[in-house]
A and B are shown apart, each in its own frame.
Chain A
Amino acid sequence: MPLNYSEEQSLLRDSARDFFTTTLPVSNLRELRDEKNETGYSTDAWRQMIDLGWGGITIPEEFGGLEFGYKGLGVIMEQAGRTLAASPLLATCALGVTAIVEGGSSEHKKDLLPLVVGGEISLTLAVDEQSVHAPFNIDCKALKEGSNYVLSGQKIFVLDGHVADELIVVARTSGDTTSREGITLFLVNAQSKGISYHPSVMVDSRNACRINFDKVSVAETQVLGTVNQGAELLDFILDVGRICLSAEMLGSLQEAFDRTVEYLKMREQFDVQIGTFQGLQHRAARMFCEVELAKSVVITALTALDDGADRTSIAEQASLAKAKVSEVFKLVSNETIQMHGGIGMTDEEEVGLFLKRARVAEQTFGGIGFHMNRWGELNNL
């Protein structure tokens, strides 16, 4: 498929852009932060997004979704990134929906997907147990007792962890802590007895939560995919999440870049606009090149998902996108602060919020090194 957006997808992007700039401007994130909002996103705005059908953007029509594909979700997330909008798009629509569509039984799909479309439930993935992403380092145990499993362990940095209604929990049913074998995914109701929530206040003012599982009983019908063979399913869910997150990051880094270029035209020192200085012009031009590369890896990865490419090539595109976009976002967010001078250091100026988001997004589901190494392995390097 060609690497450009169709007319329909472009129209969706334009209306998403309008929506986020009017309904969820950057100032909304600041408000959530300052009022220490407990939900972590605007439920009103989410309701409006649900009414636009975005909750079911990738969900098959038979479950009430729009079946508009990942490029559809991608253009929405890109625009959400432009205003740093907090919403359940990543945790629910990218991670949760993929887990159920790919790993759920027909009952799970029939019962849950229409509720997602209607905005009645939100989902998330609980995978990481340590500060550095290592998705197969799983110590959280699920022991079989009769027709149930008993879950015990701890998850950290669970996106929307304290507000999601259903948790997809990655647990160990056999094997060593670092083994790909012996991993199983469970669909766990957030109200289940034995779960406790400890929200983490992160620098980007977005939702993350430590969750403890103390002998939580889960019926064996709640297994997603195959017992002990969850690694492949997990890879795919994560790859969809990484690709959609890359789309969001692409929006954020473009916005930060655009604002910087505008600032160079506006700010005057030495009686001229600072954008006349070649020392800044060349750095801006180099950033332009990098931003162009970032756009290409994102649309390629979204296209691979929509084309139903094989899992290996999706893994390759996901790691290329996540590594490259993280690198570019890091560059742009640093240069943004630098080129804004002292103003960029203030809390009042919004560019600092982009810097903060850049680092959290970079670490989410694998940083630059993780994905370079993974891409290298996939390419036999």
Chain B
Amino acid sequence: MPEKGLSEIETFRIEVREWLQKNCPESLRKRWPDPFAEFSVLRKLRTGDSALWLEAMITKGWTAPTWPVEYGGGGLTRHQNAVLQSEMARVNAPEPLLGMGLSMIGPTLLDLGTEAQKQAHLPDIITGDTRWCQGYSEPNAGSDLANIQTKAEDKGDHFIINGSKTWTSGGHLATWMFCLVRTGKYEKKQQGISFLLFEMDQPGITLKRIKLISGDSPFCETFFDDVKALKENLIGKLDDGWAVGKRLLQHERSSIGNSPTQPSGENLKVPQLVTMAKQYHGEVNGRIDNPELRTNIIRHLMNRKAFKLTTKRAFDEAKAGASSGDTTSMFKFYGSENAQIQHELMLEAMGTNALAWEGEDFSDTELETLRSWLSGKATTIYGGSSEIQLNIIAKRVLNLPE
């Protein structure tokens, strides 16, 4: 502790504030309608201010603020990271790098990878030199993920993979895939599964784009015809990949329920919802001039507030060592359901203009509202659907019988 005046953490805050002031390009300091599209781009494909910002943050290790310094991370404590996040939010600085590398496979490797695997993959994840996709779902393996059929055959120093995956988000943009494959015999479906990493740019991988109700085509069907994965990229033990796959799902869920940028730029929508309601319905003495809409918005915002307080409470309890961990099991379910209600209210507030598909008669906000309402429907399906989340709460938290 410095002897006089400021505590260590306050000194850190001031350093961060000054550094951001110097290094975060002005043009990026705004609310992004779709931060993911902008900041998931590979390092070598970045241009302009987005590239400058990424490089600056890489020098600090702050693309992965809490990861160990030895792999290129920031080595920050949770407390320091909270300071960094709040200072970034203060100036509207966007996250410099987003994607499944940072949110899913990276944390899983930190938990369960060998030292060699960490050294091989974490530095490139932190710098955005690799971009990852998730090869979990198959036509007959959705919620029942353990039903996968894609096979990997042991060929000595490598595996040969045949089969197909579906709903591969960003498959056409990714350089690497983490993938669940069947390698062994089993009595229970969860046995005989292995967790492999391999490069996407190789012969035998065919992608077919899938178009969504939002008009977007962010993901693919992925077909494997004698695709190669090196043995060194087997995570966890052979035939014991289910444990690894499940660990990754935990990281995926906490990033969906709890992240500031997801689901679908929820951050942006909160002040917008109230502004839009007043703009489209009028305002009397500061009130939204439509009693039914006003009531629905108030109820939603109260629930949203209560949810935010719940994430804070869970964090504070964990820090004080007074947590059973039960509370966090509701985050994915409640966060995604709540975000969908927000989208519904936006549509309701904005009337027919927010139902326009395209055209110059309509504002960007109107067009974006419709698209994100549609794409937001996915948040209660992927990462373990809402029903699966409720099953988990019923069984693991409430201990209700099978």
Give 1 or 0 for each of A292-303: 1 = CB within 8 Å of chain B CB. Answer: 111111011000
Q: Are A265 and B301 in contact (CB-based, < 8 A)?
A: no
Q: Are A275 and B401 in contact (CB-based, < 8 A)?
A: yes
Q: Are A288 and B330 in contact (CB-based, < 8 A)?
A: yes
Kindly specify which of A46-54, A133-141, A193-201, A373-381 makes contact with the partner chain: A373-381
Nearest residue (CB) in A for B389 is A285
List residues of chain A with CB within 8 A of the CB of B286.
377, 380-381
A32 within 8 A of B: no
B334 within 8 A of A: yes
Interface centre among A5, A285, A324 (most CB of B within 10 A): A285
Contacts A4-B322, A275-B400, A375-B298; A288 near B393 (Cβ below 8 A): yes
Closest chain-B Cβ to A129's Cβ sits at a distance in Å of: 26
List residues of chain B with CB within 8 A of the CB of A324.
302-303, 306
B227 within 8 A of A: no
Main secondary structure of the interface of B (DSSP, over half): helix
A372 within 8 A of B: yes
Nearest residue (CB) in A for B295 is A372
Complex-state Cα separation, A116 to B392, whole angstroms: 49
Kindly specify which of B38-46, B211-219, B309-317, B373-381 makes contact with the partner chain: B309-317
Contacts A2-B316, A265-B399, A295-B313; A372 near B298 (Cβ below 8 A): yes
Interface centre among A5, A282, A380, A381 (most CB of B within 10 A): A381
List residues of chain B with CB within 8 A of the CB of A10.
322
B62 within 8 A of A: no
B288 within 8 A of A: yes
List residues of chain A with CB within 8 A of the CB of B238.
none
Contacts A2-B320, A376-B298; A276 near B313 (Cβ below 8 A): no
Nearest residue (CB) in A for B273 is A381
Q: Are B287 and A381 in contact (CB-based, < 8 A)?
A: yes
A273 within 8 A of B: yes
B402 within 8 A of A: yes
Q: How many A-B residue pairs have CB under 8 A?
A: 113
B307, B400, B401: the one within 8 Å of A293 (CB): B307
User: In the complex, how many residues of chain B place their beta carbon closer than 8 angstroms to a beta carbon of chain A?
Assistant: 41
Q: Are B393 and A296 in contact (CB-based, < 8 A)?
A: no
Complex-state Cα separation, A194 to B319, whole angstroms: 58
Complex-state Cα separation, A195 to B146, whole angstroms: 74
Nearest residue (CB) in B for A10 is B322
Nearest residue (CB) in B for A273 is B401
Chain A interface bracket (under 10, 10 to 19, 20 to 34, 35 or more): 35 or more
List residues of chain B with CB within 8 A of the CB of A5.
322
Closest chain-B Cβ to A180's Cβ sits at a distance in Å of: 15
Q: Are B401 and A285 in contact (CB-based, < 8 A)?
A: no
B20 within 8 A of A: no
Q: Are A284 and B400 in contact (CB-based, < 8 A)?
A: yes
Closest chain-B Cβ to A254's Cβ sits at a distance in Å of: 13
Q: Are A381 and B305 in contact (CB-based, < 8 A)?
A: no
B391 within 8 A of A: yes
Complex-state Cα separation, A261 to B400, whole angstroms: 8
Contacts A2-B316, A377-B287, A381-B287; A292 near B310 (Cβ below 8 A): yes
Closest chain-B Cβ to A76's Cβ sits at a distance in Å of: 19
The 8 A-B residue pairs with the shortest CB-CB distance, nearest first, are A281-B394, A285-B393, A2-B316, A296-B309, A3-B313, A285-B390, A293-B306, A275-B400
Mark A residues whose CB is within 8 Å of B: 2-5, 10, 261, 264-265, 272-273, 275-276, 278, 281-282, 284-286, 288-289, 292-297, 299-300, 320, 323-324, 372-373, 375-377, 379-381
18 more contacts with CB within 8 A, not counting A284-B394, A284-B398, A289-B334, are A3-B312, A4-B313, A4-B317, A10-B322, A272-B401, A281-B394, A282-B387, A282-B390, A285-B394, A293-B303, A293-B306, A296-B306, A296-B313, A324-B306, A373-B298, A381-B288, A381-B294, A381-B297
For this complex, 26 residue pairs linking A to B, each with C-beta atoms less than 8 Å apart, are A2-B316, A3-B313, A5-B322, A261-B398, A264-B400, A265-B400, A265-B401, A272-B401, A281-B391, A282-B390, A282-B391, A285-B389, A285-B390, A285-B391, A289-B330, A289-B334, A292-B310, A293-B307, A293-B334, A296-B309, A297-B305, A324-B302, A375-B302, A376-B294, A376-B298, A379-B298
